[in-house]
Structure 1
């Protein structure tokens, strides 16, 4: 299956705060917040939503095509992704800006405060999906993940024009969208990904009710952290998939991207959405056990063991002969 993953490509600067953000906030002073957190450590990692999803798909044996904009400092990162099964030949390289930067601090309750420097990502709007289609001889799915908002709108519109199924993952960029733009990103998506908080934002932003969204998409996948995932369709009752026990949690950045990689890989293999959500949850907990969104390794035996422990032998057997991670 030919999957293009469009979206952000960035370097992550991840810090840990040993306290709780909520204890530093004073209710009657929120209109003039000025806080500085002394952090214990700093990890510099490869990241960006599109790159993270592509990495996960590559770990599961697929060869996704990464579509995004980077700076000339992308050289080592490109080698890393290609070594992990990602096609980077459709990545746009800016001659004026550096690759984007994601700066995030996580507290002891796994709450996060983050900021994002756009950098070269601002040029992603200049990428024409037709060139990707021509190079690959077609596409079976395009993932439209957080990116320059104009790039997201352009890629979604081109998917409709070219008749290519797409997955909508507006995520962090929801706050930057106008009502009409948010509606255009969602309308006609085969898959719509949000977490619970983003679901509420999406409904408020679009002015649609829950059922209005379902009338416009194939399946709406809502992730709920430790409470698992809910699959929503217009023609069926919601399906709840419980989370896989994470055991130890080292760092949550990119866990949602890992879920999407597992989910999309399973659907690429022809598995139904519930089985795909189970695999997504197992890949997500694998990512939770590593620091950084591209530091986890997928081993078929360990992944199948996670699925079997959470959902039973039949769920694990349904994934065979997949997953087939790269050696």
Structure 2
């Protein structure tokens, strides 16, 4: 199955703050915040949600097509991804803007403060996804991107009759209810985290039942509690998280989950097995600093799944 992943492509500046961010917030001064954090470390890494997911898929033996907009400074990054097996032929290179930047400060509890500069991502809406779909793409994940691009990509998938997965994540805060409804309705899958789950319902005015009437499967990641899989007319299924060897950096863990999930989905496995594979990759990402630093190969999955979930961990039935 050929998978295209659309969304942001960025350079990550990852910093660690040794104290607790929440301890620096004064309850009676939240209307006027002026904080400066002296950080211990700085890691400059390659990232962006679409690139992170494509990286994970490539490590699992796929050749995903990456769809997004970058600056001329993407050359070395693109060469690296191409060497790993990511098809970058659909990446648009801006003549005037830099590749997006993600700046994030993380404390020992995993709390984060982040800023995102879109840069060349603002040109993603100029990408004609219909041409990409003509290259034999079977499945498209529409990730956080320039909002106009997300809407255009969704319309292209509907027009071509190609299965798409809605993953609006960070952009839910910018999108209005009508835009979110358009991105979600008819999706094969919807991905959110626990906070985004509630935000999506609030902004759309939908209930859980309304959402499930319009999407095939709704997957909500729950951090250390794992994930929840919901389908219309069925009880929700909670899938425990896979334990991480160490907790080094939570950035990009959700992207790794999606990569693992998509890999098993492409193999025709059921949602629970997909979520287990996603959780295994998430645990590897959590144990590494940076979003594209973990190492995994397809042959590693049976051992990793058995270690996390027992012999039943590698069992899976064909998805409907």
Structure 2 residue aligned with 1:81: 81
Could you list the structure 1 runs, at least 4 aligned residues long, displaced by more than 4 angstroms after superposition: none
Q: Does 1:183 align with 2:181?
A: yes
Answer yes or no: is the 8 Å Cα contact 1:283–1:303 preserved in 2: no
Structure 2 residue aligned with 1:5: 5
Structure 1 residue aligned with 2:279: 281
Structure 2 residue aligned with 1:165: 163
SS of 2:31's equivalent?
A: helix
Measured against aligned partners, the alpha-carbon deviations of 1:153-209 in whole angstroms (never above 9, x if no partner) come to 110111111111100000000011011101101110101000000101100111101
Task: For residue 318 of structure 1, report the CA deviation from its aligned partner.
Answer: 4.8
Q: Does 1:256 align with 2:237?
A: no
Aligned counterpart in structure 2 of residue 239 of structure 1, from 231, 237, 240: 237
Q: Does 1:92 align with 2:92?
A: yes
Aligned partners of 2:230 and 2:315: how far apart in 1? 25
Aligned partners of 2:186 and 2:220: how far apart in 1? 17
Normalised by the size of structure 1, how large is the TM-score?
0.95
Report the CA distance shift for 1:317/1:222 in structure 2 as closer, same or farther (over 3 A): closer
1:50-65 pair list within 5 angstroms: 50-65=50-65
Normalised by the size of structure 2, how large is the TM-score?
0.97
Any gaps of 5 or more consecutive residues in structure 1?
A: 320-327
Structure 2 residue aligned with 1:203: 201
Measured against aligned partners, the alpha-carbon deviations of 1:136-161 in whole angstroms (never above 9, x if no partner) come to 2x221111000000000110111111
SS of 2:13's equivalent?
A: strand
Structure 2 residue aligned with 1:32: 32
Measured against aligned partners, the alpha-carbon deviations of 1:214-256 in whole angstroms (never above 9, x if no partner) come to 1110000000011011000112110110011113111111000
Report the CA distance shift for 1:54/1:218 in structure 2 as closer, same or farther (over 3 A): same
RMSD (CA atoms): 1.2
Answer yes or no: is the 8 Å Cα contact 1:72–1:93 preserved in 2: yes
Report the CA distance shift for 1:63/1:299 in structure 2 as closer, same or farther (over 3 A): closer
Measured against aligned partners, the alpha-carbon deviations of 1:292-321 in whole angstroms (never above 9, x if no partner) come to 0001100445543331122111323559xx
Answer yes or no: is the 8 Å Cα contact 1:129–1:158 preserved in 2: yes
Aligned partners of 1:25 and 1:14: how far apart in 2? 21
Measured against aligned partners, the alpha-carbon deviations of 1:2-50 in whole angstroms (never above 9, x if no partner) come to 1110000000000000011110001111011110100001000000000
Structure 2 residue aligned with 1:152: 150
Measured against aligned partners, the alpha-carbon deviations of 1:250-280 in whole angstroms (never above 9, x if no partner) come to 1111000000000000010111111010010
Any gaps of 5 or more consecutive residues in structure 2?
A: none
Answer yes or no: is the 8 Å Cα contact 2:239–2:275 preserved in 1: yes
Q: Does 1:294 align with 2:283?
A: no
Structure 2 residue aligned with 1:108: 108
Answer yes or no: is the 8 Å Cα contact 2:59–2:298 preserved in 1: no
Aligned partners of 1:147 and 1:289: how far apart in 2? 26
Answer yes or no: is the 8 Å Cα contact 1:227–1:243 preserved in 2: yes
- How many aligned residue pairs are there? 317
Aligned partners of 2:298 and 2:94: how far apart in 1? 37
SS of 2:81's equivalent?
A: helix
Aligned partners of 1:40 and 1:304: how far apart in 2? 37
Aligned partners of 1:46 and 1:263: how far apart in 2? 22
